[in-house]
Amino acid sequence: MDLKSKIILISGPTASGKSKAALKIAKKLNGEIINADSMQVYKELKILTARPSKTDLNKIDHHLYGFRSVKKEFSSGEWLKLAKKNIKKIRDKNKIPVLVGGTGLYFKALTDGLVKIPKIPISVRDKIRRMQNKLGQKKFYLKLLNNDPLVKNKIDPTDVQRSIRAYEVIKFTKKSVFSWYMKTKPSFKKDQFIKIYVDYPKEILINKISKRVDQMMKNGAIQEVKDFLKLDLKSDSNIFKVIGIREIKEFIDKKISMHDLKLNIVIKTRQYAKRQRTWSRGQMSDWEKFDAEALSKFIKKL
């Protein structure tokens, strides 16, 4: 396999071992790693977002990790621009770019191009957000489906942010967000990508998630959240999507026990992993799927 012109993409549900796989592949192929996780870009939440350890960062050059303050929102457009810039820099050094993360939309922007939707006025966005708050997500999603049938099976019914975005687009542009997707142009040729999707059987992944949560607590996740809460950000900020913030706050406020804290984070993480898998089935059908054993054999053949 000629890898000189390739870009390696590694995705999979949370706690599936993507980062370890990226490290092994980058080490073997003289590559460098680029972050493709929307929450690992933030510097203040290293533990909860499971950013690579200092040891791993010292083994291989890593890019786009922990460089942005949570006080500033970070868009997929910004990520794509920086990712392309880093891909070029890595290639200029005759190395191979290895992108790893769980944010499917980042990979989609890279492989399929970024959607260029007209800017939607803040008045329209605020009105739709108020509607969602009033109706609740379940009724709001049904209303969205009535307006935009293309959303079905493409946006998870529990995904508030993407549901609101889709509603904004259909209302303001009179076209589905997925119609806009079809007009996009990719920055790279499709055959340049090696797409790896890492996953485990459900029972093994649940066990890995539980162990990760225990390790997060030992590593200082509670203090991390205490420091984060001092920033006094708005509760509807995108960063509050990081699993563990709200749960740890409940523990700090003495509303739940340590046992319930860990259990709640495990449950939320399992639900998130399920949503990632559902999304991948619809949006990443051309990615090659690997369990741990198959991935190990694949890496040896590289």
* Banded pLDDT at 278 (limits 50, 70, 90): confident
The stretch 212-231 carries a mean pLDDT of: 97
Q: What is the pLDDT of residues 18-74, one digit of tens each?
A: 999 999 999 999 999 999 999 999 999 999 999 999 999 999 999 999 999 999 988
| Mean pLDDT within 201-228 | 96
74-95: b or e for each residue (b if 16 or more CB lie within 10 Å)?
A: bebeebbebbbebbeebeeeeb
The reported pLDDT for the residue numbered 119 is: 86
Q: What is the pLDDT of residues 91-114, one digit of tens each?
A: 999 999 999 999 998 998 999 888
State pLDDT tens for residues 156-188: 898 888 899 999 999 999 999 988 877 778 889
Checking if the pLDDT of 255 tops 70, the result is yes
193-198 sheet: strands from edge to edge? 62-63, 31-35, 96-100, 7-11, 193-198, 288-290
| Phi, psi of 225, deg, nearest 5 | -70, -35
For position 236, what pLDDT does the model report?
A: 78
Domains and CATH numbers, the chain: 7-115+185-200+284-301 (3.40.50.300), 122-181 (1.10.20.140), 203-275 (1.10.287.890)
Task: Give me 138's structure tokens.
Answer: 């379940």
CA 298 vs CA 104, 110, 199, 224, 289: distances in Å: 22, 23, 14, 37, 11
Question: What was the pLDDT predicted at 212?
Answer: 97
Asked if 21 and 84 touch (Cβ cutoff 8 Å), the reply is no
- Average pLDDT, rounded, for the chain: 93
Instruction: Tell me the three state secondary structure of residue 42.
Output: strand
Which value, in Å, is the radius of gyration of the alpha carbons in the chain? 20
Looking up tokens 């340590």 gives 258
Predicted confidence at residue 142, as pLDDT, reads 96
Percent of the chain past pLDDT 70, that is, above it, reads: 100
Bridge partners (DSSP) of residue 200 are none
Task: For residue 166, give Cα distances in angstroms to 79, 139, 161, 236, 270.
Answer: 20, 15, 9, 18, 25
Tens of pLDDT, residues 183-204: 778 889 999 999 999 998 889 9
Residue 302 has pLDDT above 90, yes or no: no
What is the Cα–Cα distance from 47 to 35, expressed in whole angstroms? 15
Q: Has residue 281 got a pLDDT over 90?
A: no
* Residues whose CB falls within 8 Å of the CB of residue 86, separated by 6 or more in sequence, listed in order: 32, 34, 63, 64, 97
Has residue 1 got a pLDDT over 80? no
Roughly what angle, to the nearest 10 degrees, separates helices 160-173 and 137-147? 30
Nearest residue to 228 (alpha-carbon basis) of 213, 249, 243: 249
Distance CA 65, CA 85 (A): 15
